[in-house]
Chain A
Amino acid sequence: MANNIIDLRNISVTFDGEQILKNLNLQIEDKEFLTLLGPSGCGKTTTLRIIAGFLQPDSGDVIFDGKLINGVPAHKRQVNTIFQRYALFTHLNVFENIAFGLRIKKTPEKEIKATVTEMLNLVNLKGFETRNINTLSGGQQQRVAIARALAVRPRVLLLDEPLGALDLKLRKDMQNELKNIQQRLGITFIYVTHDQEEALSMSDKIVVMNNGVIQQIGTPIDIYNEPENAFVADFIGESNIVDGVMKEDFICEFSGATFNCLDKGFGKNEAVDVVVRPEDVDVVPFEQGMLRGTVTSVTFKGVHFEIIVDIGGFKWMIQSTDEQFVGDNIGLYIEPDAIHIMKKSEYSGLYGDFSSFSEEFDELSDVNAEQEEQDDE
């Protein structure tokens, strides 16, 4: 407990009668890289704004380093923010942007110079001191924003989708750099993204949110391998999510077949959601399959083929390095450790079916689209 730098307790926020954060509880450890992950509008930015002090929660407590800071204004918190849009001062050059916080603290000129130089080195912008903000590329502006926030030596850095506007290549580079900076400086990063890959590769801990409610908190591996409910399973990576029944400990039944699995502790014959990752399914000859079905679509993805298989009307996604062909009848083999059992939740039945990948669905949606167009007229 003593290790927690930030502790959010029962935070609720309502905008225009709509509850945006619902009883949020979150402990953030000192020096960790924590990611808030969730779809657009789920309340990630709102959570950051509460920590930064730009927003007062309607109820609940914000605790920083063991002290209640609900009423402390933003400029007095040891927390700094990298904004979703960089929010640089366009009337100042790169040097003065980074020096901004130091000048307010009336830091001696010599020290300002040293810190700005250090920060520019840290973010790989040596020699950019006198450059005008408007002449910088997006990636460079982002680096200035990072240097500006780090120059005042915050204990916690809040990053709101800092790489959202960058192209894929630059994004990967910046991901590594940010992770590096965080480890080198040994400060806490609270990182917001809706990119699950980014979250998985950078974080010590991931907080999956939806509709203002935390769905799961865990390490990237936990979140990926042991999703708490169908929402998390679907949001992180690709998942086949099917209805199943726990016959007894270590035995489950789904898609008309019985499987060994590693899960226990469910009631006898309890209805559950079963998650199987596409890469954990092996393609075997039809006769040898634990499950059997017909290939309805094959897409080449570079590393593997993405194959959609119709099994008793439910579309499964399988990733395999061997090419299959539409219309083939194939068998599927699933290892016990590839099966993950989850309790039923409000999200059961909403996700995990890949019908949208098949041709029939395309036709269906085309019809719908036409109809909508007509309705619009």
Chain B
Amino acid sequence: MNKLSSRTRQALTAPFSVWMAIFVLVPIGLVVYYALTDATGGFTLSNLASIWEYRSTYLVSIELALVATVICLIMAYPLAYSISRMKAHSQSTMVLLVMLPMWMNFLIRTYAWMTILEDTGLINTFIKSVLSLVGYEFEGFSMINTNGAIVLGMVYNFLPYMILPIYTVLTKIDHSIIEAARDLGANGFHIFTKVLLPQSIPGIISGITMVFVPAVSTFVISKLLGGGMTYLIGDVIENYFLGNTGEVNYNVGAALSLVLMILILISSGIMNHFDKDVEPDGGAKK
């Protein structure tokens, strides 16, 4: 780490710094500018004040994103663990399989779920035809356009982002510390709660962040699988910028985005604090 001189380091990071400045700092600056100005460009706080009426939308977005994140975590941890225990060769195959859906366009994947969940979709058609064989008339489940469908879409789309960081930290855990724990009398449960889980906290935290952040701000999933029944904050923002259903208002849209960004920042801050508590060396190195 110390091998590079600070000048070399600066030179190496320059392209990234420029990139960040143009595509991150400038947009954030614009968001802040629009959020704090009115149509004529004068300073105002009324955009931010108008957000109060969307408080329930924020809550629903956060709630659905949280549910999706928890489901992802529960599904991803055992999977990541079992992958990390496999032989090196099977591990790379499994990681490939986990990433495979990511090779396909996000929209296409979500459309695919529409055709599966629709009232006349794959699942219902299948169940109906099976039941009609035994002479039973079944009008089908209504799956699409529900909150459940939205959560399903989130879980499906973001699951790999939970699996990969957890898998990475698990593979980095030195197997001999698991043996050391066993040696000291730990059974499988102890090893999980006292060694594996605390050692994998950094992976869990980046997994949660990488799932929660896109889930809480999504508008595609809610639009395609929620069918406009449930409005998420991402949909509201999109509407203000594109005017699909109402007037175009960059200022309110920017204010909504700004608040969402701040909420995400706060939750990341809380998470990182948690990380430091558990892994003291994270704090000590600073």
The chain A residues found within 8 Å of chain B, CB to CB, are 52, 54, 73-76, 79-81, 83-85, 87-93, 100-101, 103-105, 132-135, 148-149, 152
Residue contact A87 to B184, C-beta cutoff 8 Å: no
Q: Report yes or no: A75 in contact with B177, Cβ–Cβ below 8 A.
A: no
- Is B278 a contact of A80 with CB atoms below 8 Å? no
In the complex the two chains form, what is the Cα distance from A87 to B180 in whole Å?
6
Task: Please measure, in the bound complex, the distance between the C-alpha atom of A80 and the C-alpha atom of B280, giving whole angstroms.
Answer: 27
| A79, A85, A88, A90 pick with most chain B CB within 10 angstroms | A90
Report the minimum CB–CB distance from B201 to chain A (whole Å): 8
Question: Residue A91 contacts which of B180, B186, B278 (CB distance < 8 angstroms)?
Answer: B278
**Which residues of the partner chain B approach A81 to less than 8 Å between Cβ atoms?**
179-180, 183
Of B187, B194, B201, B278, the contact of A100 (CB 8 Å cutoff):
B194
Once the chains are docked, how many angstroms separate the CA of A104 from the CA of B195? 12
Residue from the list A73, A91, A101, A133 in contact with B184, Cβ < 8 A: A101
Q: Is B174 an interface residue (CB 8 A)?
A: yes
Interchain CB contact (< 8 A) of A85 among B174, B185, B198, B284 = B174
**A83 surroundings in chain B (CB, below 8 A):** 176, 179-180
Residue pair B183, A104 in contact (C-beta under 8 Å): no
Complex contact B177–A87 (CB within 8 A):
yes
Could you list 5 examples of A-B contacts with CB < 8 Å? A52-B183, A89-B180, A90-B281, A91-B195, A91-B198
Please, how many angstroms separate the alpha-carbon atoms of A80 and B186 in the complex?
12
Give 7 nearest A-B pairs by CB, closest first: A101-B184, A87-B176, A87-B180, A91-B198, A74-B182, A104-B185, A87-B177
Q: Of all chain B residues, which has the CB nearest A134?
A: B281
Contacting residues, chain A, for B174 (C-beta < 8 A): 85, 87
Residues of B contacting A89 in the complex (Cβ-Cβ under 8 angstroms): 177, 180-181, 195, 199
Residue of A nearest to B179 (CB): A54
Tell which of B185, B186, B198, B281 has the most Cβ of chain A within 10 Å. B185
- Please, how many angstroms separate the alpha-carbon atoms of A85 and B181 in the complex? 14
Residues in B with CB closer than 8 Å to A87 are 174, 176-177, 179-180
**Complex: chain A residue closest to B200, CB-CB:** A91
With a cutoff of 8 Å between Cβ atoms, the chain A residues found around residue B187 in the complex are 75
Query: Hey, which bits of chain B sit against chain A, CB under 8 A?
Result: 174, 176-177, 179-187, 190, 194-195, 198-199, 201, 278-281, 284
Among B176, B183, B284, point to the contact of A80 (Cβ < 8 A).
Answer: B183
Smallest Cβ-Cβ distance to A92: which chain B residue: B198
Main secondary structure of the interface of A (DSSP, over half): mixed
State in angstroms the CA–CA spacing of A101 and B182 once bound together. 9
Which residues of B have CB within 8 Å of A93?
280
CB atoms of B280 and A104 under 8 A apart: no
A92: B residues at CB distance < 8 A: 198
- What's the least CB distance linking B173 to chain A, in Å? 10
Residue on A nearest B284 in the bound complex, by CB: A132
Closest to B285 in A: A134
The CA-CA distance from A88 to B183 in the complex, in Å, is 12
Contact indicator A74/B177 (Cβ below 8 Å): no
Q: Is B281 a contact partner of A132 (Cβ separation < 8 A)?
A: yes
Q: Are A135 and B184 in contact (CB under 8 A)?
A: no
The reply to whether B176 and A100 contact each other, CB–CB distance below 8 Å, is no
- In the complex, the chain A residue whose C-beta lies closest to that of B199 is A91
12 new A-B pairs (CB below 8 Å) besides A87-B177, A148-B180?
A: A54-B179, A75-B183, A84-B176, A87-B176, A87-B180, A88-B177, A90-B177, A92-B198, A103-B194, A104-B184, A134-B284, A148-B184
Which residues of chain A are near B182, meaning CB under 8 Å?
A: 54, 73-75
Nearest opposing residue in chain B for A130, CB measure: B280
- Expressed in whole angstroms, the Cα–Cα distance for A73 and B185 within the complex equals 10
Nearest Cβ distance between residue A36 and chain B, in whole angstroms? 18
Contacts of B195 in A (CB 8 A): 89, 91
With contact pairs A91-B279, A93-B280 given, residues A85 and B176 touching in the complex (Cβ less than 8 Å): yes
In the assembled complex, how far is the CB of residue A135 from the closest CB belonging to chain B, in whole angstroms?
Answer: 7
Contact yes or no, B281 A100, CB < 8 A:
no
Residue pair B284, A135 in contact (C-beta under 8 Å): yes
Once the chains are docked, how many angstroms separate the CA of A54 from the CA of B183?
9
Residues of A within 8 Å of B190, CB to CB, are: 104
Chain A residues near B184 (CB-CB < 8 A): 75, 80, 100-101, 104, 148-149, 152
Expressed in whole angstroms, the Cα–Cα distance for A310 and B174 within the complex equals 52
Q: How far is the CB of B132 from chain A (nearest CB, A)?
A: 54
- Shortest beta-carbon distance from B190 to chain A in Å: 5
The reply to whether A75 and B186 contact each other, CB–CB distance below 8 Å, is yes
B181 — which chain A residues lie within 8 A by C-beta?
89, 100
Once bound together, how far apart are the Cα atoms of A152 and B183, in whole Å? 10
Q: Closest chain B residue to A79 by CB distance?
A: B183
Residues of chain B contacted by A80 (CB below 8 angstroms) = 183-184
A80, A89, A148: most-surrounded residue (chain B CB, <10 A):
A89
B226 smallest CB distance to A (angstroms)? 41
Instruction: Name the distance in Å between A131's Cβ and chain B's nearest Cβ.
Output: 10
Give the distance in Å from the alpha carbon of A192 to the alpha carbon of B18 in the complex: 56
In angstroms, Cα B182 to Cα A152, docked, is: 13
Contacts of B185 in A (CB 8 A): 75-76, 101, 104-105, 152
Provide the bound-state CA to CA distance between A54 and B176, in Å: 11
- CA–CA, A73 and B186, complex, Å: 11
Find the A residue at minimum CB distance from B177. Answer: A87
Residues of A contacting B279 with CB < 8 Å?
Answer: 91
Task: Give the shortest distance, in Å, between A86 (CB) and chain B (any CB).
Answer: 9
Chain A residue nearest in CB terms to B175:
A87
Instruction: Report the separation of the CA atoms of residues A38 and B181 in the bound assembly, to the nearest whole angstrom.
Output: 28
Taking CB atoms, residues of chain A closer than 8 Å to B198 are 91-92
B72 to chain A, nearest CB (A): 23
Name the residue on B nearest A54 (C-beta).
B179
**How far does the Cβ of B180 sit from chain A's closest Cβ, in whole Å?**
4
Q: How far is the CB of A53 from chain B (nearest CB, A)?
A: 8
CB of B274 to closest CB in A, whole Å? 13
Q: How far is the CA of A309 from the CA of B182 in the complex (A)?
A: 55
Which single residue of chain B is at the shortest CB-CB distance from A83? B176
A132 to chain B, nearest CB (A): 5
Residues of A within 8 A of B180 (CB): 81, 83, 87-89, 148
